[in-house]
Amino acid sequence: MPKNPYTLIAIDDQTTAIEEKRLAFQCLCYLLTGKSHALLIDTGFGLGDLAALVKTLTDKPVWVVNTHAHFDHIGNNHRFPRFFLSRAEEEVFQRHTDPAYLWRLSAALIPLPLRLLAHSTLDRIYKPKPLGIKTGIDDGYVFDPGGRSVEVVATPGHSPGSLCLLDRERRPLFTGDTLCDWWVLLNLEFCAAPEVYGASLERLSRLAGAYDRIYPGHHGFPVSRDRLEEYRACVRGILTGTIPLKPRGKGAAAALYASYGEVLIALPADFRRFKSGELPVEGGGIPKKEQ
Ligand SMILES: [Zn+2]
């Protein structure tokens, strides 16, 4: 029997962080309860039965909203009757629910020993299975679970349909992989150009008066506001050529890393092709934390 991968961390009396963690896998989901419904932000890798866990926390009907459709954010969607996802994320969603695609992606992303481990996990999780009702949402969509409203803020970059969720009353901002404490990847298939990601960061900066704390999809939380400024500076440095880009990896795993302060942005090795309107290639390595 695999060990329970979940740890609960109370944020306030109606908001709970759910950390899913096993070996190299770590992801953060959040449960926001209202008077009539509960809103679950992301469903992780799917290493355990998240729906059963959520049932112990609320008896309200649960809406799932995914910050984006990468496999480590949608892994437990099938255990819920309904989920919401950006309309701009459809292509990513199709890929990341296709086991054959995930094998190829893991070959580009994960070193061999971990990949063997990941394959047995992914094989168990991503066998095709029926999903619940999917509803496409856009920027400005508001969830009303009763007594609180949670607004969608579109932040393309890490993926075309990446979104943040802003609770205007309680003032947390949930950022998925758009803003994490340590690194942000722009080197995966379908990631947007640094300019697009930079525009999303500028938007989060303009919205700064509307939130007090930042809750990401990975690493620690809450994320310091300093990180937002560092990511903004990092993107500016990439675009102006004032931050050196360090290459790492070979072939499909080749990537460039730009660091500023405590943060790091990974780009595809050929990211300059963005400027001519071409899409990035599949793959790119996972950066190690720089000492
Ligand atoms: Zn992601």
> Which domains, from first to last, does the chain contain?
6-276 (3.60.15.10)
Main-chain dihedrals φ then ψ at residue 231, nearest 5 degrees = -65, -40
- pLDDT tier for residue 251 given thresholds of 50, 70 and 90: low
Convert the pLDDT of each residue in 4-25 to its tens digit.
899 999 999 999 999 999 777 7
In contact, 189 and 281? CB cutoff 8 Å: yes
* Edge-to-edge strand list for the sheet holding 62-65: 6-12, 15-22, 25-33, 38-41, 62-65, 82-86, 133-137
CA of 35 to the centre of ligand 1 (A): 30
Report the distance separating Cα 264 and Cα 175, nearest Å.
16
What pTM did the predictor assign? 0.89
- pLDDT tier for residue 106 given thresholds of 50, 70 and 90: confident
Convert the pLDDT of each residue in 183-221 to its tens digit.
899 988 889 989 999 999 999 999 999 999 999 999 889
CA of 95 to the centre of ligand 1 (A): 13
The stretch 241-270 carries a mean pLDDT of 85
CA of 177 to the centre of ligand 1 (A): 5
pLDDT higher than 90, residue 270: no
Residues contacting 129, CB < 8 A, separation 6+: 78
The stretch 167-193 carries a mean pLDDT of 92
CA of 159 to the centre of ligand 1 (A): 7
Cis status, amide bond into 145, omega within 30 of 0: no
Taking a 5 Å cut-off on Cβ, the residues next to ion ligand 1 are 70, 177
Report the distance separating Cα 284 and Cα 262, nearest Å.
21
pLDDT higher than 70, residue 285: no
The stretch 88-112 carries a mean pLDDT of 82
CA of 265 to the centre of ligand 1 (A): 13
CA of 72 to the centre of ligand 1 (A): 7
